[in-house]
Amino acid sequence: MTAPLPLELLPASLRQIAEYCGEDVMWKIWSAYGGGHLFVPDKATPEHRLSELLGYADACQFCQKFGGELMNIPNAAAAVRAVRNERIRQARNAGESNFSLCRQYGLTERQIISICSQGEPTWVNMDLFA
């Protein structure tokens, strides 16, 4: 699965899932439960929803680490917004009109102008200082 958002923008709880269980597992959990909560059983069974979502082996690993927890899975709205805004800036810089962008993203022209007038986000330039 391709990462829809840069990991460095995600909340710590999602990064923790990625660290212990892998990014693929984290994206599947986020896609299925983002904005809600998930009770993680102590042990996975082949017929459990987590096994269907992740595969039995990954569900076992996930339950081994997080079993017994009621996890709030963030919707990562700030990260989604940051990526959307960067895509808007790139499209505008490539010559797409404000009107076209407001129709494409469901925003007002004033919002598009505001987004495009903001400076480049720091996460885009992170490796400059590495």
With a cut of 70, say whether residue 47 has pLDDT above it: yes
With a cut of 70, say whether residue 42 has pLDDT above it: yes
Asked if 6 and 123 touch (Cβ cutoff 8 Å), the reply is yes
For residues 38 and 129, the model is more confident at: 38
- What mean pLDDT do residues 44-61 have? 95
Asked if 83 and 5 touch (Cβ cutoff 8 Å), the reply is yes
Tokens, residue 102: 């407001």
Q: What confidence score (pLDDT) does residue 81 get? A: 87
Condensed to tens digits (0 to 9), the pLDDT of residues 7-33 reads 787 889 999 999 999 999 999 999 899
Give every CB contact of residue 44 below 8 A, 6+ residues apart in sequence: 50, 51, 56, 59, 60, 62, 63
Instruction: Specify the residue for token string 């996460």.
Output: 123
With a cut of 70, say whether residue 127 has pLDDT above it: no
At residue 56's C-alpha, the angle toward residues 53 and 58, to 5°, is: 80
Lowest mean pLDDT of 3-12, 44-53, 82-91, 111-120, name the range: 3-12
Instruction: Grade residue 128 by pLDDT with cuts at 50, 70 and 90.
Output: very low
